[in-house]
A and B are shown apart, each in its own frame.
Chain A
Amino acid sequence: AQRVTQPEKLLSVFKGAPVELKCNYSYSGSPELFWYVQYSRQRLQLLLRHISRESIKGFTADLNKGETSFHLKKPFAQEEDSAMYYCALRSGVNFNKFYFGSGTKLNVKP
């Protein structure tokens, strides 16, 4: 069965500090991993996906198949990064199923 684990419910860092939001997954096939973000009073939106291998708003995430991880990182956190972050895995015959982790609330303090 597919499972996405985000071990931290809350992560608090000071502005300018590095941040790493952890995500581990279990999946028997080749996964497609995503990070979604939900800012206060806004809807969930895509932040980045592993196949794009891009940096969005300074965030990067590398898929580590050996460790089955897809941690989200940013070298210098900003206050506007405060939000709820969800790691998600896409699977299924037609890649039409999404499974979400429980989310990590990032609080960037001034």
Chain B
Amino acid sequence: GAVVSQHPSWVICKSGTSVKIECRSLDFQATTMFWYRQFPKQSLMLMATSNEGSKATYEQGVEKDKFLINHASLTLSTLTVTSAHPEDSSFYICSAQDGVVDIQYFGAGTRLSVL
């Protein structure tokens, strides 16, 4: 079946540094990729939607300058958390939409801890 690779799976960084998370669709072309944030014991919160070659669409309340999304190709999207602070610590999950079968496939998630 379709696979979405997300890495790193876990990252620890110092406050003020930037962290990049990659999301790749391994065996299909993703028309759309999504980035979610999940707080402990809470639901997935959609942060932004991105399409290849165009600017990401951010949900209300999500700072686009804080969470930079680059969708460089049909198989790769990156999320960069800029100048990370402890409150950015969370579980980030990406997903990729296979436009052919109209199914959203999820990455395994990235645990970000900002010290």
**Residues of A near any B CB (own CB < 8 A):** 4, 9, 43-46, 86, 92, 96-103
A3 to chain B, nearest CB (A): 11
Q: Mark B47-58, 1 if CB is under 8 A from A, else 0.
A: 001000000010
Q: Determine whether the beta carbon of B104 is less than 8 Å from that of A100.
A: no
Determine the distance from Cα of A60 to Cα of B103 in the docked complex, in whole angstroms: 18
Among A43, A92, A103, the residue within 8 A (CB) of B43 is A103
Residues of A within 8 A of B41 (CB): 9
Residues of A within 8 A of B44 (CB): 44, 86, 100
CB within 8 Å: A-B pair count: 38
Q: Determine whether the beta carbon of B106 is less than 8 Å from that of A86.
A: no
A-B contact pairs, 19 of them (CB 8 A): A4-B43, A9-B41, A43-B4, A44-B93, A44-B106, A46-B103, A96-B32, A96-B49, A96-B57, A96-B97, A97-B46, A97-B49, A97-B59, A98-B46, A98-B104, A99-B46, A100-B36, A100-B43, A100-B46
Q: Determine whether the beta carbon of A43 is less than 8 Å from that of B109.
A: yes
Residues of A within 8 A of B97 (CB): 96
Q: Determine whether the beta carbon of A98 is less than 8 Å from that of B34.
A: yes
Determine the distance from Cα of A98 to Cα of B48 in the docked complex, in whole angstroms: 10
Residues of A within 8 A of B103 (CB): 46
Residues of B within 8 A of A45 (CB): 105-106
Residues of A within 8 A of B104 (CB): 46, 98
Q: Mark B97-113, 1 if CB is under 8 A from A, else 0.
A: 10000011111110000
Q: Mark B76-89, 1 if CB is under 8 A from A, else 0.
A: 00000000000000
Residues of A within 8 A of B93 (CB): 44
A51 to chain B, nearest CB (A): 9
Given contacts A44-B95, A96-B57, 6 further A-B contacts (CB under 8 A): A97-B59, A98-B104, A99-B46, A100-B36, A101-B43, A102-B43
